[in-house]
A and B are shown apart, each in its own frame.
Chain A
Amino acid sequence: SQQGEEDPQALSIQEGENATMNCSYKTSINNLQWYRQNSGRGLVHLILIRSNEREKHSGRLRVTLDTSKKSSSLLITASRAADTASYFCATAVSGGYQKVTFGTGTKLQVIP
């Protein structure tokens, strides 16, 4: 089964609104990363939050991590049409090397 699962699977909002995506995982992690994918091709790294951090900001992105609940959320504020993409969380765990496992993704559509 997937280590990381995003929720919701799909999200449609109006431009200017905020978008929140959640990620749940099963085992202890070293860090959690969020990626964006446009048009089914290469992913772009957005932000990395370590297991000892609770919140991190980058521009219009805000990521929180709750290790007790094994969950993370990605908030995109003041969304733009260009934010339309699939968003994946990825968890890094130790086990010989830090294996990174990707979730199933949230498909975000921002309507102009």
Chain B
Amino acid sequence: GAGVSQSPSNKVTEKGKDVELRCDPISGHTALYWYRQRLGQGLEFLIYFQGNSAPDKSGLPSDRFSAERTGESVSTLTIQRTQQEDSAVYLCASSTYRGNEQFFGPGTRLTVL
């Protein structure tokens, strides 16, 4: 079956603009995660969804970041008033059960000019 997909694959935006990143998890996966990875760095946890609720948002770096999920399907990560330090690859992953193997999408590379 299809894997996790993310769109767009690349996004270049100007400082101050809002961006929306999309993640389509594997069908039937109840858990969904967003991570941020700066160049040459490890993965930084942002938010975890179980179904359409987010029991752990502790990684969101500021109130400019928000995310939502529709049922056990699509999730969008929104960054308002983007800053240059938001430039990174944003990775989405889904899994069948919390703590089990995570399946990653290819990521969205965000560049804020």
Contact = CB atoms under 8 A, between A and B. Distances in A.
Given A2-B42, A31-B99, A102-B42, A42 B55 contact: no
Interface string A41-82: 111110010000000000000000000000000000000000
Given A40-B37, A40-B89, A42-B107, A88 B42 contact: yes
B55 A48 contact: no
A28 interface: no
A53 to B, nearest CB: 15
B70 interface: no
B50 A42 contact: no
Interface string B20-47: 0000000000010101010101110100
Contacts of A99: 45, 48, 56, 99
A88 B104 CA distance: 13
A109 interface: no
Interface string B83-113: 0000001010100001111111111000000
B89 to A, nearest CB: 6
B101 A33 contact: yes
Contacts of B107: 40-42
B104 A97 contact: no
B99 A92 contact: yes
B104 A42 contact: yes
Q: Which of A30, A43, A90 has the most CB of B within 10 A?
A: A43
B42 to A, nearest CB: 4
Nearest to A44: B104
Contacts of A96: 55-56
B106 A41 contact: yes
B101 A45 contact: yes
Interface of B: 4, 31, 33, 35, 37, 39, 41-43, 45, 48, 50, 55-56, 89, 91, 93, 98-107
Interface of A: 2, 30-31, 33, 35, 40-45, 48, 88, 90, 92, 94, 96-105
